[in-house]
A = this chain, B = another copy of it.
Amino acid sequence: MKTNINKTQDAGWNIGPQTLLPPAGASDVMRTSIANTPQPDVEAMQQVAPRTKEEWLAVITETDAPKEDGLQTLLAQSPVSVQNDEIAGVPVFKVNPAEVDPRHENHLFVYVHGGAYILNRGKVGVMEAIIIAQRCQMPVLSIDYRMPPEHPFPAGLEDVVTVYQHLLKDHPATSMTLGGTSAGGGLILTATSKLNELGVDVPGALYAGTPWTDLTKTGDSYITNEGVDRLLITYDGLLEGAAHLYAGNKNLKDPLISPVYGKFHDFPPTFLVTGTRDLFLSNTARTHTKMRAAGVVADLLVFEGVSHGDYAFEPTSPESLQTYAELNAFLLRHLQ
């Protein structure tokens, strides 16, 4: 019997192939955008495997450079200001809406950008911070944390913790949100663990948008949504490489690298969001149920047809509007 079990486990189930149409159950904006997206090229993405520091930097530059246009467009449409600054030696961007909602007058959103721990250096890292500042009408501080290949783990985590601890001098913990998407969602979770470890007060609320909480290829959606997620496409190649580049000589399952393996006791209320096409659907769902089992107030939204981060990348979609409206309501409920 034991042998049969192992045999079954080793073999796995064969699933697919399938034909996936644009999601009829998503909004018109989202469905049209997806219908205009070329079929994700899994094989090409699997080949993206930089080895040297120079190769990594080339991929990073090549991926980030085209985002400048999108940033300028977003800035032109958004009544927000973006200013460079530095906190305790860490570069940050202060992203302020033209008008602050009086209910958020004493609140601060500390934002940690995503990008697989390698992308979105500098100003292109503030895109979602701009959306949050505008939609929630609250001040956002975006941390331009250190990343590999120059600075692997724990440099970025240290930067987030350092900035947060510095902010505590002027801001009560309960007035602050720590939040981000993807690697940013992972970093705010590991940072909160670290704060608990250090005995530092945790923020009043967390935002973990489709967080990268398992840097190993563990989770159903790494398989079921390969070639379905139009942004990440596949774990193999870039993500796998970035995971190892970030972790350096550490185990990928170290809870300060893959927070789904950590403990969530003493975490503040957390808002999570993902989609049915998200390669990180399992990352998000596993984190959510584990938080809930630990007694944390954790609220999950799963949008039909939505790939990794689509709520930020399709900012005019009803899915995006609902995401940030719900995030804002969540923050108003839990921040003090």
B20–A220 touching, CB < 8 Å: yes
A12–B20 touching, CB < 8 Å: yes
Provide the residues of chain B in CB contact with A259, threshold 8 Å: none
B15–A20 touching, CB < 8 Å: yes
B224–A228 touching, CB < 8 Å: yes
- Does A128 lie at the interface of the complex (its beta carbon under 8 Å from any beta carbon of B)? no
- Does A171 lie at the interface of the complex (its beta carbon under 8 Å from any beta carbon of B)? no
Please pick, from B12, B300, B304, B319, the residue contacting A302 in the complex, using a CB distance under 8 A: B300
- Does A87 lie at the interface of the complex (its beta carbon under 8 Å from any beta carbon of B)? no
- Does A126 lie at the interface of the complex (its beta carbon under 8 Å from any beta carbon of B)? no
Q: Which residue of B lies closest to A318 (CB)?
A: B293
Whole-angstrom distance from the CB of A182 to the nearest CB of chain B?
18
Provide the residues of chain B in CB contact with A305, threshold 8 Å: 220
Give the residues from 2 to 58 in chain A that come closer than 8 angstroms, CB to CB, to chain B: 4-5, 8-9, 11-25, 32, 35-40
- Does A98 lie at the interface of the complex (its beta carbon under 8 Å from any beta carbon of B)? no
Provide the residues of chain B in CB contact with A276, threshold 8 Å: 219-221, 224, 281-282, 285
Provide the residues of chain B in CB contact with A260, threshold 8 Å: 25
Give the residues from 133 to 181 in chain A that come closer than 8 angstroms, CB to CB, to chain B: none
Copies in the complex: 2
The winner among A20, A304, A305 for most chain B CB atoms within 10 A is A304
B277–A289 touching, CB < 8 Å: no
Provide the residues of chain B in CB contact with A228, threshold 8 Å: 13, 15, 220, 224
Residues of A in contact with B (beta carbons under 8 Å apart)? 4-5, 8-9, 11-25, 32, 35-40, 214, 218-221, 223-228, 260, 276-277, 281-282, 285-286, 288-289, 292-293, 299-305, 318-319, 322, 326
Expressed in whole angstroms, the Cα–Cα distance for A20 and B319 within the complex equals: 30
B302–A302 touching, CB < 8 Å: yes
Provide the residues of chain B in CB contact with A285, threshold 8 Å: 276, 302-304
Whole-angstrom distance from the CB of A36 to the nearest CB of chain B?
6
Provide the residues of chain B in CB contact with A223, threshold 8 Å: 18-21
A-B pairs with beta carbons under 8 Å apart, 9 shown: A13-B227, A16-B17, A16-B227, A19-B223, A20-B224, A220-B304, A288-B301, A289-B319, A293-B318
Q: A8-B35, A9-B21 are in contact. Are A277 and B16 (CB under 8 A)?
A: no
Whole-angstrom distance from the CB of A96 to the nearest CB of chain B?
29
Q: Which residue of B lies closest to A275 (CB)?
A: B285
Whole-angstrom distance from the CB of A11 to the nearest CB of chain B?
8
Whole-angstrom distance from the CB of A235 to the nearest CB of chain B?
12
Q: A16-B16, A226-B15 are in contact. Are A23 and B220 (CB under 8 A)?
A: yes
Q: Which residue of B lies closest to A218 (CB)?
A: B24
Whole-angstrom distance from the CB of A280 to the nearest CB of chain B?
11
Question: Closest 9 CB pairs between A and B?
Answer: A16-B16, A285-B302, A16-B17, A220-B276, A13-B39, A12-B19, A12-B21, A15-B227, A9-B35
Expressed in whole angstroms, the Cα–Cα distance for A140 and B300 within the complex equals: 28
Whole-angstrom distance from the CB of A76 to the nearest CB of chain B?
24
